[in-house]
């Protein structure tokens, strides 16, 4: 733990009495609590349970965002990281089409599998963030954006056409969950430098960015290229399922990191 982490004075512990984070002031607003510039975002953790999966044995804990009501899930390796390294952390934004149905319009499902395998091997936590579908615009809007993408817009332009933000996600609750889990310094499994910046603002120190690139596909190469070109994602795009990276690409793409 460092000075950039939690204050260490116990303020971050959930209040066992009512399950609420004990930072609410008399007027109901939540106050900055430790002078480190971090605005707290109250969350409430539940019991830790075993979660045996196809990717290995994990432990899981649900966290409720007490501001939005969103229910997130922390899935962790049962053992701490080896060699005293900082834990691997993946902030995985919910993607129904990718995570559940294995959609190739994006790379979310493959990223999820890759992250769980890495965390099983090296130790750490995947925080599955619900309510972040389509970079925060929701499932129905994401599918609308797909329709626009099929008409030729890229993933950024499609959101703009819908009058929606390109990235509406907020990481304050995620940062608070990490802090309450004692994960103040992390190795972040992500290609998205913006996530690193947002976490830093929320008080979580990213000591290393660990790339999570999975091979591109015909169906998602344009989406990934857009993330690289327009959203500054650190992608190489040099491996491709089904041969060389195509020069002309289909009009499929989508969301998320």
Interface residue list for Zn ion (CB under 5 A): 95, 98, 106, 108, 256
How many Å apart are CA 65 and CA 104, to the nearest integer? 30
- Judged by DSSP in three states, 82 sits in helix
- CB-nearer residue toward Zn ion: 123 or 134: 134
Question: In the bound complex, what is the minimum distance in angstroms from residue 95's beta carbon to Zn ion?
Answer: 3
Question: In the bound complex, what is the minimum distance in angstroms from residue 257's beta carbon to Zn ion?
Answer: 9
222 is catalytic: no
CB 245 within 8 A of CB 237: yes
Given 38, 135, 169, 222, the catalytic residue: 169
Quick one: DSSP state of residue 247? S
First to last CA, the chain: 28
How many Å apart are CA 216 and CA 65, to the nearest integer? 33
- CB-nearer residue toward Zn ion: 33 or 157: 157
Alpha-carbon radius of gyration of the chain: 19
- CB-nearer residue toward Zn ion: 48 or 166: 166
The position carrying tokens 């044995």 is 57
Given 65, 154, 167, 253, the catalytic residue: 167
Question: In the bound complex, what is the minimum distance in angstroms from residue 106's beta carbon to Zn ion?
Answer: 3
169 is catalytic: yes
- CB-nearer residue toward Zn ion: 20 or 230: 230
| Mode of pairing for the β-strands spanning 56-65 and 71-76 | antiparallel
| Residues known to be catalytic | 167, 169
């Amino acid at each position: 733990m460092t000075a950039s982490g939690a204050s260490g004075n116990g303020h971050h512990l959930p209040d066992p009495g009512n399950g609420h984070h004990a930072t609410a002031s008399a007027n109901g607003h939540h106050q900055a609590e430790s002078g480190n510039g971090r605005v707290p975002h109250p969350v409430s953790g539940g019991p830790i349970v075993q979660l045996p999966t196809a990717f290995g044995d994990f432990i899981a804990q649900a966290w409720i965002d007490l501001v939005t009501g969103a229910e997130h899930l922390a899935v962790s390796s049962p053992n701490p990281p080896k060699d005293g390294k900082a834990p691997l952390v993946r902030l995985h934004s919910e993607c129904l089409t990718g995570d559940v149905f294995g959609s190739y319009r994006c790379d979310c499902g493959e990223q999820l599998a890759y992250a769980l395998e890495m965390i099983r091997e090296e130790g750490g936590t995947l925080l599955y963030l619900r309510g972040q579908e389509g970079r925060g615009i929701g499932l129905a809007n994401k599918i609308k954006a797909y329709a626009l993408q099929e008409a030729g817009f890229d993933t950024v332009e499609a959101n703009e056409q819908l009058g929606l933000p390109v990235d509406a996600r907020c990481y304050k609750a995620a940062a608070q969950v990490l802090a309450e889990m004692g994960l103040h310094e992390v190795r972040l499994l992500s290609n998205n430098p913006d996530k690193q910046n947002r976490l830093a603002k929320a008080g979580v120190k990213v000591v290393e960015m660990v790339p999570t690139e999975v091979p591109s596909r015909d169906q998602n190469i344009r989406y990934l290229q857009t993330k690289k070109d327009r959203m500054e994602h650190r992608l190489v795009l040099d491996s491709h399922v089904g041969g060389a990276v195509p020069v002309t690409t289909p009009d499929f793409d989508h969301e998320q990191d």
